[in-house]
Structure 1
Amino acid sequence: MEITLDSPASAPQPLSPYYSQVARVQHADGSALLFLSGQIAEGATLAEQSRGVFETIDALLRAHGASLAHVVNIRTYLTDIGGLAEYAAVRREFLTGTPPTSMTFEVPRLFRPEARIEIEVVAAVPAG
């Protein structure tokens, strides 16, 4: 097993130099697990921020030979659980297959005061 920490140049860069966006756990059989740091995005509405987050997640996964179809777990942090339906509508645009395991939390605030949502995912990439 080999572990690589990465912030791929082909994806939006992290907001701070103090963390990596992706931890890749490469297995001897060629399969890998990708653990993505929590992602936030700019936007005036929850839907805009949600869409921006999923676009960043997609770019990070693609930089590692994966796609949103490989997501097996998603954790969502909302500053207002009342926006759950708005977020869920955007999520369905991006996660179109069998839904991954999921947890959603309401939190009082996030890393950036303007952020209304933060999402982290785990993806399983098969060998080959």
Structure 2
Amino acid sequence: MQITLDNPASAPQPLSPYYSQVARVEHPDGSALLFVSGQIAEGDTLAEQTRGVFQTLAALLEAHGATLADVISIRTYLTDISKLDEYGTVRRRFLTGTPPTSMTFEVSRLFRPEALVEVEVVAAVPGR
């Protein structure tokens, strides 16, 4: 098993030098698990930030041969759980297949004070 930590140049770069955006755990058969760090995005509304987050997640996955359809687990952190439906409406535009396993938390604040949502995912990349 091989583990690679990566900040793909084709995706927005991390906001801090203290983490990697993707951990790829490669199996000898070519399949892999991708652990993607929590992502936030700019925007004035939760919907705008959610769209930005999923666009960034898609770019990070694509850099490793995966898509949002390969997501098997998702963790969402919201600063206002009463806006879960607003978040869910945008999320469903990006995750259109069978929903992955999911956990959603309300938190008092995130890494950046203006952030309303942070999302991290795990994706499974099939072998060759």
TM-score of the superposed pair, with normalisation by structure 1: 0.99
Q: What is the CA distance between 1:17 and its match in structure 2?
A: 1.0
Rounded to whole Å, the distance in 1 between the matches of 2:58 and 2:83 is 22
The residue number in structure 1 matching 2:111 is 111
Structure 2 unaligned blocks of 5 or more: none
Q: What is the CA distance between 1:119 and its match in structure 2?
A: 0.2
In the TM superposition, what whole-angstrom CA distance separates every residue of 1:41-89 from its partner, at most 9, and x where no partner exists?
Answer: 0000000000000000000000000000000000000000011000000
The residue number in structure 2 matching 1:94 is 94
The residue number in structure 2 matching 1:59 is 59
Rounded to whole Å, the distance in 1 between the matches of 2:18 and 2:81 is 29
Number of equivalenced pairs: 128
SS in 1 for 2:55: helix
Rounded to whole Å, the distance in 2 between the matches of 1:18 and 1:85 is 32
> For residue 16 of structure 1, what is the amino acid of its counterpart?
S
The CA RMSD over aligned residues, in Å, is 0.3
The residue number in structure 2 matching 1:80 is 80
SS in 2 for 1:60: helix
The residue number in structure 1 matching 2:127 is 127
> For residue 106 of structure 1, what is the amino acid of its counterpart?
E
Query: Structure 1 stretches (4+) deviating beyond 3 angstroms?
Result: none
Rounded to whole Å, the distance in 1 between the matches of 2:79 and 2:18 is 24
SS in 2 for 1:120: strand
SS in 1 for 2:93: helix
> For residue 73 of structure 2, what is the amino acid of its counterpart?
N
Identity value in percent: 79
Structure 1 unaligned blocks of 5 or more: none
SS in 1 for 2:14: coil
